[in-house]
């Protein structure tokens, strides 16, 4: 029988996994592989010796390598996890040493470029990937296997991707606890241009409108803050993403501009504008709730809050006394239904325990995740 | 000595105050006038008999009137608090009955139109106003004097506004616990076009891009949700606001478009784009925190959270045990500095007490508001 410390390798198990780029995502993949017994040995490679030392000290990897070399030939899984701008050069650096039987994947947030690059390099076992997970705090220090759990992980095979490689990549993603979604690289890039890169640029343009105007920032209330939050992201990472995806982004920008022009024209047709507003509300209200948080990941519990004093204190105190660790907390404004509190807990078991406790105290609760 | 139940009227005190339109804002003004002893008698007028009955039953007003009439001549304060579209007709309806000595104000969120209309009607005691307060939940049922406390309340005198009327309006706003900010109607409209109406239209256009596309809504994570939240607002109220302010909104749209075009051009100049991204981050990070919440108003305390388990529980528990009522709570992601918790408390005294308590327990805290 397997115990927690040395889990039995799953049927998928890799002999030697190389994580090239041991940051937040690479480190989280390494931890997932180790904790779930998916690889016998996990080897970290990074351009920074400091990062490698930290990864080793934190037990994120079994061993480290400071340069590509023959050691790579024995790896049957290679994950390219460098920042966007460094992925291409990294692939070129490693390609000469890759085993033709290795499953190779990457975690870049734009896919068409890197997919074409690896196709051109003739890396046959390559399956481009994009785990849609992140955290406000980067670096291997904040890596956690749980970061990838329940994350949407897009795989974008090209015409050169073998079905065997794609199938193994899918299994890997599932074994790490994430949800694989398969689509062509161009489709992925067009989608993230619309839901991520366009919103970033829009947010930046809105933010620039209030720069150096005190009266504007005085009147800028909740709505404006919501729309400009992503402009507060890391400038270099944000810049690299939008530049890498500029082609798809330009198309998204063109669609957005046409939509905005239509709305501007509707200012003279109040009936049409009302219909557009109602359609927008319906669409927005039906979006699934997925929030990238400071403290990923979470097991959520939503507690309806009766309109009585100090309900936040009562709920957090009851859980604190029962030893339930509250990782995140959010006041939800739910129209017409009064307020609710969303609690981010550590484990599904915590959610079950907290739910039972609060139900017993007369609260209406709903678990999520 | 005055007790809480029957406060001594302040020197500002009005004899008879008329609240025309007894919804969330009108009702909150009525309650503020009564609770703070600013008017001897508060009279509610509304187009809906049901609303009037509810306002009376809830004790929001002292008496109700179902139609404008001679009773208005005796009112020395008249607050027009109907929804945007109904303000003009309401003013025309009441104007023949207004005393020339009455202070008349309104609470509309766009100012140039109503200001011109009342000037044309010759209502000399009129001071256009816009209390920047709101709630997810509308209607007189949710009216509270506290809704207006600490709110920015813009007053927009015109060339016809007398200094006496402006000065009384300022005193009224301050007596209600809000913060008066004086500027011309056109300046106000241009500012709210930029920080409120443009963001709404942008949010609506973004939302429309994902309508009826399941893959898009699957990939739409936190950032996209932030940017489209305001599209979830009441369609009719949102439509009325942007239509009423369409002139200023068109100018804001033009400025926004130019900014966005510059950013698009910068996709070919990565160095310039990085500078723009860094400038956006600086601006966004320095915006004052003003959040329209389910539970207004607040006295804020920000607590730096050390990276140890169950800090949320520890902080809320300590305050709960000390009897400090936590009205609102928010996890703040502060890059590079770790996390922080924003606590919304009931009074400034609570903030001081909680700060002392938490400092004593080794936390770094900062009070606000």
Of B156, B68, B73, the residue nearest B114 (C-alpha): B156
d(CA B31, CA B177): 12
Asked, for residue A8, whether it belongs to a domain, the answer is no
Neighbour count for residue B49 (Cβ, 10 Å):
10
CA distance B205 to chain A (A): 5
Nearest CB to A277 within list B194, B196, B235: B235
* Contact at CB, B333 and A294, closer than 8 angstroms: yes
For residues B26 and B172, state if they share a domain.
yes
Which tokens is A159 given?
A: 């015409």
CA B162 to chain centre: 26
Residue B10: CB atoms within 10 Å: 13
The answer to whether A196 contacts B224, with C-beta atoms less than 8 Å apart, is yes
Q: For residue B22, what pLDDT is reported?
A: 97
Residue of A137, A127, A191 whose CA lies nearest to A159: A127
Pair (B192, B155) in one structural domain: no
Residue A258 sits in a domain whose CATH number is: 1.10.3660.10
Which parts of A183-298 are beta strand (E)?
none
For chain B, how many residues are written?
369
Is B261 a member of any domain?
Answer: yes
- Please give the residue of chain B at the shortest CA–CA distance from A314: B320
The order of strands in the sheet holding B39-45 is B63-65, B39-45, B14-20, B77-80, B103-106, B126-127
- Residue to mutate among A58, A188, A195, A200, with most B CBs inside 10 A, is A195
**Statement to judge: residues A76 and A135 lie in one domain:** yes
B342 contacts in chain A (CB < 8 Å) = none
What's the order of all strands across the beta sheet hosting A14-20?
A: A63-65, A39-45, A14-20, A77-80, A103-106, A126-127
Chain A nearest C-alpha distance from B11 (Å): 30
Q: How many CB pairs under 8 A join A and B?
A: 349
Number of structural domains in chain B: 3
Residues B125 and B100: beta-carbon distance below 8 Å: yes
Q: Give the whole-angstrom CA distance, residue A70 versus residue A34.
A: 23
Per the CB < 8 Å rule, is B209 touching A246?
Answer: no
Structure tokens at A52: 């490698």
Report yes or no on A9 lying in a domain: no
Contacts of B349 (CB under 8 A, 6+ apart): none
Considering the domain boundaries, does residue A1 fall inside one? Answer: no
User: Are A156 and A241 members of one domain?
Assistant: no
Residues A242 and A179 in one domain: no
**Quick one: which of B336, B226, B281 has its CA closest to A232?**
B281
> B227 and A202 in contact by Cβ < 8 A?
yes
pLDDT per 10-residue tile (average), chain B, 369 residues: 43 91 96 96 97 96 97 98 92 96 96 95 94 79 90 92 92 93 93 94 94 76 80 90 96 97 97 96 78 46 73 80 78 51 80 89 73
Contact A41, A15 (CB under 8 A): yes
Distance CA A341, CA A302 (A): 6
Task: Sort out which chain A residues have CB atoms less than 8 A from B250's CB and list them.
Answer: 264, 267
ipTM, 2 dp: 0.72
Do the Cβ atoms of A276 and B208 come within 8 Å?
yes
Asked if the structure places residue A160 within a domain, the reply is yes
Same domain, yes or no: A221 and A142: no
* A201–B326 CB contact, under 8 Å: no
Based on the domain organization, do B247 and B316 belong to the same domain?
A: no
Q: How far is CA A74 from CA A71, A80, A91, A98, B275, in A?
A: 6, 16, 17, 8, 43
Task: State which residues form the domain around B345.
Answer: 299-368
Paired tokens of B290? 């003003």
Closest chain A residue by Cα to residue B191: A216
Phi, psi dihedral angles at A6 (to 5 degrees): -135, 80
| Domain C-terminal end among A216, A249, A266 | A266
Specify the 3-state DSSP secondary structure of A129.
Answer: strand
The structure tokens 């795989």 sit at A155
- One domain for residues A46 and A146: yes
Interface contact flag, B210 A283, Cβ < 8 Å: yes
Co-location of A176 and A198 in the same domain: no
Of A205, A246, A285, the CB nearest to B259: A205
What pairs with residue A180 in β-bridges? A153
If asked whether residues A36 and A164 sit together in one domain, one would say yes
Crossing angle of helices B112-121 and B87-94, rounded to 10°: 20
Give the per-residue pLDDT at B38.
96
CB-CB: which of A218, A328, A335 is closest to B137? A335
Quote the minimal CA–CA distance from B35 to chain A in Å.
Answer: 20
| CB pair distance less than 8 Å for A206 and B202 | yes
- Residues forming a β-bridge with A16: A41
Which of A236, A294, A334 is opposite residue B339, by nearest beta carbon?
A: A294
pLDDT (0 to 100) of residue A6: 42
Task: Report the CATH number at residue B127.
Answer: 3.40.50.720
B358 CB burial (10 A radius; 0-12, 13-18, 19+): buried
> Any idea what the CATH number is for the domain that residue B330 is in?
3.30.70.260
Q: Which residues of chain A have pLDDT under 50?
A: 1-9, 290-297, 333-338, 369
Q: Answer whether residue A212 is part of any domain.
A: yes
Distance CA A15, CA A11 (A): 11
In a domain, B198, yes or no: yes
Domain annotation covers residue A292: no
Flag if A253 and B236 touch (Cβ within 8 Å).
Answer: no
């Amino acid at each position: 029988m397997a115990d927690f410390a040395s889990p039995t390798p799953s049927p998928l198990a890799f002999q030697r996994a190389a994580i090239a780029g041991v940051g937040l995502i690479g480190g989280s993949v390494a931890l997932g592989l180790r904790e779930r017994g998916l690889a016998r040995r996990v080897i970290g490679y990074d351009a920074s010796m400091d990062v490698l030392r930290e990864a080793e000290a934190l037990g994120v990897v079994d061993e480290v390598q400071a340069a590509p070399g023959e050691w790579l030939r024995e790896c049957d899984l290679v994950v390219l996890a460098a920042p966007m701008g460094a992925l291409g050069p990294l692939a070129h650096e490693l390609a000469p040493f890759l085993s033709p039987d290795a499953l190779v994947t990457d975690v870049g947030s734009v896919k068409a470029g890197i997919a074409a690059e690896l196709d051109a390099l003739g890396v046959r076992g390559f399956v481009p990937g994009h785990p849609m997970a992140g955290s406000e705090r980067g670096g291997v220090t904040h890596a956690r296997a749980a970061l990838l759990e329940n994350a949407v992980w897009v795989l974008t095979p090209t015409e050169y991707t073998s079905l065997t490689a794609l199938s193994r990549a899918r299994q890997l993603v599932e074994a790490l606890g994430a949800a694989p979604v398969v689509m062509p690289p161009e489709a992925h890039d067009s989608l993230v241009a619309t839901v991520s890169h366009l919103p970033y640029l829009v947010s930046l343009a809105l933010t620039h409108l209030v720069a150096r105007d005190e009266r504007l920032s005085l009147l800028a209330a909740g709505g404006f803050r919501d729309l400009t939050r992503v402009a507060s992201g890391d400038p270099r990472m944000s810049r690299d993403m939008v530049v890498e995806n500029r082609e798809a982004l330009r198309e998204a920008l063109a669609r957005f501009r046409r939509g905005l022009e239509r709305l501007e024209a509707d200012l003279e047709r109040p009936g049409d504008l009302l219909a557009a507003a109602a359609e927008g509300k319906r669409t927005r209200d039906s979006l699934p709730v997925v929030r990238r948080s400071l403290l990923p990941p979470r097991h959520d519990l939503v507690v309806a809050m009766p309109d009585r004093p100090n309900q936040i204190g009562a709920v957090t105190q009851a859980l604190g006394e029962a030893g339930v660790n509250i990782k995140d907390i959010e006041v939800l404004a739910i129209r017409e239904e009064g307020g609710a509190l969303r609690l981010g807990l550590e484990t599904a078991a915590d959610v079950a325990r907290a739910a039972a406790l609060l139900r017993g105290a007369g609260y209406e609760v709903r678990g999520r995740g």
